[in-house]
Structure 1
């Protein structure tokens, strides 16, 4: 199979979909790998590294999309990439389709085989979401601490406090990987950390494994409204596989916050768990509403590409190789994890939460797989 790695075009997205060791693995199985010039530079890998591993370096994204049956990316296609997609082409990347109806429609119209990292499940785990959830969670307290400073219009509270002065209070909403990672770093910075969730088993595990300056509390609206006036930082860390994130903090609740406090909505990829959140970029990461700063960058790990690229690529290559070795049809028949990752195929939406969110008919993949067009080889 011909596999293509284009350069990411999302604002300040410095990761790349594959590292040279992944190229070597695919080449050893007889596949051809094409990468766009300069795609790996910000992740610490230059074109010579990829050539040495056996990749063919091409100048433009169009060449990559025109020649390759499978495209491996990091972030969802941006509008300027829509026209590059081709029928029956495999797209393996983060998609987060629930809040993006236009992209869902394009993938249908183009009859792309769209396999999403974030819905691929194996033994009740999300093996391709977890590495980036860990990094996003670890970064969240760092950026929150920075934007609490007075020169960024924050409250001027130092997250660690000082001798005789109480530390910042951090509320983390959620109890998964993002929450655990955020709590670990926030606690390590000296903050007073409270995790609010509904999964009692997960919260019990967090209490047993995390430092003593972390406590947990069961999530409900009444308790949330009582806590919000006491916190300096809120980290939204809610993820329901494939679905839009529920709006747990409403616009009206902003009046409960301290002025100059900050929200870091890590759930923004799935629409955000704060009603007032909207996607921001690394160029303009925050906005203020009702005296509360909102940090809603949709690609937080993209700022740390030397770490995050390797963590992601090491996780994805096994599945990419299986898809390439077997072809996507046989791969989904043999591998339930890959099956669960397919969101759109042959013009059909095959992920139930995405279909429900957009009011589109849902089709079980196994029922429509034979209706999907075959990929046409172009010379």
Structure 2
């Protein structure tokens, strides 16, 4: 199989889909891997490392797409990528098409096959989304804690507090991988943490983090009460393949104290907080009703070295399956196809 790894061109996206060690494994299996020059630079991987791993480094995107059949990238194709994609391509990346209807239409017009990392599901788990959810959950509290600082426009609060000082209050919507990691970091800092979910086992897991963590069922009234007192609100709701549901309304956000912070991890699926909109790392925040909103759609791109290593390890086994003519016999991969031959095929996108 001819595999292409393009340089990511989304704003300040530093990740690369495959690290050199993964490329070496693919080359040993007889595959040809093309890597666009500079693709791994922001993650700390020079072109020479890819050459040593057996890849063929090509100068630009046009050559890479022309020589590749299977394109493996991190984020969804943007305008400059779409110029090079054709019906013969198989794209394997994060897509999040539920929140991107125009991109969905463009991929249909091209007629290619696109498989989303986030729709690869095994026993109701999402193995290719999980490592980035791990990172995004942890980053949400690190970033939110910083945004609470006065120079960043926050209320001037030390999230974990200290002796003689009140603890900050963190509210997390969702106790899955991202929300669970957000709760763990916030709890470790010493904040008062309230986590909402509908799964009792997950709530029990959150309570076990410590006496400063409370797990509650996602009743609308309970969420509204918690949001009003939150210093940091983290949205981490996920319905695989579908657009996120707004659990926090604009009216709820209006009740938050000035200088509070919202980090909506679910923004790449449309966001679970009504006032959220997508941003990028060039202008990551905006203010609504005195509340700082962080809506970056590629949060793990801030730590590309760590994120690239985690992502590459997760996708490599699945990539090996995609490189075989029998990949359509794999029900997991077949079920992860989002669009193909001009049609939207994933059930969540057709809903």
Determine if the TM-score, normalized by the shorter chain, exceeds 0.5: yes
Partner of 2:291: 292
The 1-side partners of 2:263 and 2:145 are apart by 10
**Maintained 8 Å contact 2:276/2:295:** yes
1:281 corresponds to: 280
Q: Are residue 332 (structure 1) and residue 328 (structure 2) matched? A: yes
Q: After TM superposition, give the deviation of residue 105 of structure 1 in Å.
A: 0.7
Once the two structures are superposed, the pairs formed by residues 129-144 of structure 1 within 5 Å of their partners are 129-144=129-144
Per the TM alignment, residue 341 of structure 1 is displaced from its structure 2 partner at its CA by 1.4
Contact in 1 for aligned 2:4/2:33 (Cα 8 Å)? yes
Q: CA deviation at 1:162?
A: 2.1
Q: CA deviation at 1:348?
A: 1.3
| Counterparts of 2:225 and 2:305, CA distance in 1 | 41
Q: Alignment partner of 1:181: what SS? A: helix
1:48-59 to 2 correspondences below 5 Å: 48-59=48-59
Q: How many residues align?
A: 351
- The Cα offsets for residues 257-303 of structure 1, whole Å up to 9 and x where unpaired, read as 11110000000010000111111111111100011110000011001
1:301 corresponds to which residue?
A: 300
Q: TM-score, normalised by structure 2?
A: 0.98
Match of 2:42 in 1: 42
Question: Do 2:228 and 2:253's aligned partners in 1 also have CA atoms closer than 8 Å?
Answer: no
Deviation at 1:207, TM superposition (A): 2.4
Instruction: Tell me which stretches of 4 or more aligned residues in structure 1 moved more than 3 Å.
Output: none
In the TM superposition, what whole-angstrom CA distance separates every residue of 1:134-166 from its partner, at most 9, and x where no partner exists?
000001001001111111111111101122111
What is residue 182 of structure 2 aligned with on the other side? 182
- Determine if the alignment matches structure 1 residue 245 to structure 2 residue 240: no
Matches within 5 A, 1:171-320: 171-208=171-208, 210-320=209-319
SS at the partner of 2:92?
Answer: strand
Residue 243 of structure 1 and its aligned partner are, at CA, apart by 0.4
Q: Secondary structure at the match of 1:294?
A: strand
Q: Whole-Å Cα distance in 1 between the matches of residues 200 and 284 of structure 2?
A: 33
Aligned-pair distance for 1:88?
2.6
Aligned to 1:354: 349
CA distance in 2, matches of 1:111, 1:204: 46
Q: TM-score normalised to the size of structure 1?
A: 0.91
SS of match in other structure, 1:246: coil
Q: Secondary structure at the match of 1:241?
A: coil
- Could you list the per-position Cα deviations for residues 29-84 of structure 1 after superposition, in whole angstroms to 9, with x for gaps in the alignment? 11100000010011121111100000000010111111100000000001221121
Task: Specify the alignment match of 2:88 in structure 1.
Answer: 88
Does the Cα contact within 8 Å between 2:183 and 2:206 map onto a contact in 1?
no
Residue deviations 1:208-264, cap 9 Å, x none?
Answer: 3x2332110111111112222211000000000000000111111122111110000
Superposition deviation, residue 347 in structure 1: 1.2
Q: Distance in 2 between matches of 1:232 and 1:66?
A: 50
Q: Give me the whole-angstrom Cα distance separating, in 2, the residues matched to 1:227 and 1:121.
A: 32
| Aligned equivalent of 2:30 | 30
Select the residue among 338, 343, 347 that pairs with 1:343.
338
CA contact (8 A) 1:122 1:336 kept: no
- Deviation per CA, 1:13-43: give whole Å up to 9, x if none: 0000111111111111111000000100111
Supply the distance in 1 between the matched residues of 2:82 and 2:225 (Cα, whole angstroms).
Answer: 45
Within 1, Cα distance between the matches of 2:252 and 2:224?
Answer: 7
CA distance in 2, matches of 1:142, 1:148: 10
**Over the residues paired in the alignment, what is the CA RMSD in angstroms?**
1.0
Q: Which residue of 1 aligns with 2:102?
A: 102
Query: Counterparts of 2:89 and 2:254 in 1: how far apart (Å)?
Result: 48
Cα distance in 2, alignment partners of residues 141 and 184 from structure 1: 9
SS in 2 for 1:14: coil
Structure 2 gaps, min length 5? none
Mapped partners of 1:205, 1:52: distance in 2: 45
Select between 288-297 and 246-255 the one with higher mean Cα deviation.
246-255
1:201 Cα deviation from its structure 2 partner: 2.2
